[in-house]
Chains A and B, each alone.
Chain A
Amino acid sequence: MTALADYNFAYLDEQTKRMIRRAILKAIAIPGYQVPFASREMPMPYGWGTGGVQVTASILGPHDVLKVIDQGADDTTNAVSIRAFFQKVANVAVTTKTSEATIIQTRHRIPEETLGVNQVLVYQVPIPEPLRFLEPRETETRQMHALEEYGLMHVKLYEDIARHGRIATTYAYPVKVAGRYVMDPSPTPKFDNPKMNQSAALQLFGAGREKRIYAVPPYTDVVSLDFEDHPFEVQTFEKPCALCGARHVYLDEVVLDDKGGRMFVCSDTDFCETRREEGHRGEMLGDIKEAAE
């Protein structure tokens, strides 16, 4: 990373940015369709969100405020590295506060706080093709999207029901965008799927290794696939967050000791901290009454 000072603003050269920007505009015009793009080598390994990083680098300007999360947290290695990268190559303002960010790059979560019209959510995507695990051949999956032939996907979900009595998929749960394309929402928990629907924010998806960009414009229908007799349902948690008392949020299990002690806390660390700053207290912090909202 020592030679980064020699690179262009936001690392990518202008020709690459133009190519990615054109792909983003097409992605917005064809919601849920995966636009091929010529992904570039980035100074970080695949799996570290090189697709999301390229999208962010292509849209980012000097007036933006960037937030980067990984599994809901701003302080994991992946999030810290990407945030530091953009501070270095773009000298951009950064934040951990969801409400202050104009661009939020994410791996595996959508913030709990409702996003607004002045925000762009950039997803890091490992496998953009929702049909890939059913059909390995790109020519075939492309044809299925072209013909809107999504029967195989429904068969797969229905096999889940036959085997488990319910749809067992909990991550990367497939959605239909604007009534046309079936799309992989990236490996977010299905808990987050409803947040994609009719969001005021623009949602952009970048897959570096697979060289695909796709988008969900603001105020667009995003419907999780399901069946009349087995409607889509999000995960529910028995107890509120042990730290801030929040209900109806996505919780992570935290092991407290080696005697089986554990607690469930918000996966969205900014959301949890903000609530605690506002005086909310969960079970672990003493005031259980706060949990009963």
Chain B
Amino acid sequence: MVATATLLPGFADPVFDAQAVFRAAMDALARPGTIQQIGCPLTPPKGLCAASAALMLTLCDYDTPVYLSAALAQGVVPGWLGFHAGAKITSDKSTCAFAFFEKGSTLPAFGHFSQGTQDYPDRSTTIILEVASLEGGARLSLSGPGINGATEIAPLGLPATFLDQWRVNRALFPRGIDLILTCSNRLIGLPRTVNIKALEG
């Protein structure tokens, strides 16, 4: 029996908070590179930032197998997610709909996750990765659908192999994973369509 008394609450207003968080996620993926904000107050369970927790409550339910990093899987997150969203936790990266990683965790290669099929490229994993900061890191140039010409981001704490992995992911289009970077109550969306290049300096 899960000690529900120790569980943190979910959204204060499940209907309107989920709607607002969804719009932030929608804008983030429709306009890659823009930093979107979670406006509603939410106390995340230990291990998650507010944005990752809010996305979990907004998008996950019993239809979406959720993969958690090793640290998250061992903590309070599974109980919190199960209680508030009814989502199933899976240890199978290749079939999960969503995968969550906390700041500093080791991100497996994108190729381990579901990339959809050529017939159904939508049957792919969305990875939610918390980073140290959405700003202040190495400058990256973004282009592609949703971006007027080109834009820049500079997240701090991406895996060293990120650009190579992203290039492989991009080349799989229409297959591929979609990525949402989170930190505190903010997020950046990187759909599979985005071209990412390192900028000097």
* Contact surface of A with B, Cβ cutoff 8 Å: 8-9, 14-15, 17-19, 21-31, 33, 35-36, 58-62, 117, 142-143, 146-147, 178, 180-181, 200, 202, 215, 217-221
Contacts and interface: CB of A to CB of B under 8 A. Distances in A.
A200 B145 CA distance: 11
6 contacts: A18-B58, A23-B122, A59-B23, A217-B29, A220-B145, A221-B145
Contacts of A33: 121-122, 174
Most buried by A among B20, B26, B126, B173: B26
A18 B61 CA distance: 8
B29 A61 contact: no
Interface in B5-52: 14-16, 18-20, 22-23, 25-26, 29-31
Contacts of A61: 16, 19-20, 23
A14 B146 contact: no
B145 A31 contact: yes
B192 A14 contact: no
A33 B14 CA distance: 30
Contacts of B16: 9, 61-62
Given A29-B178, A147-B118, A180-B174, A22 B15 contact: no
A215 B117 CA distance: 19
Contacts of A181: 174
B200 interface: no
Contacts of B192: 29-30
A8 B13 CA distance: 13
A22 B59 contact: yes
A220 B146 contact: yes
Contacts of B64: 22
B22 A21 contact: yes
Contacts of A202: 26, 30
Contacts of B118: 146-147
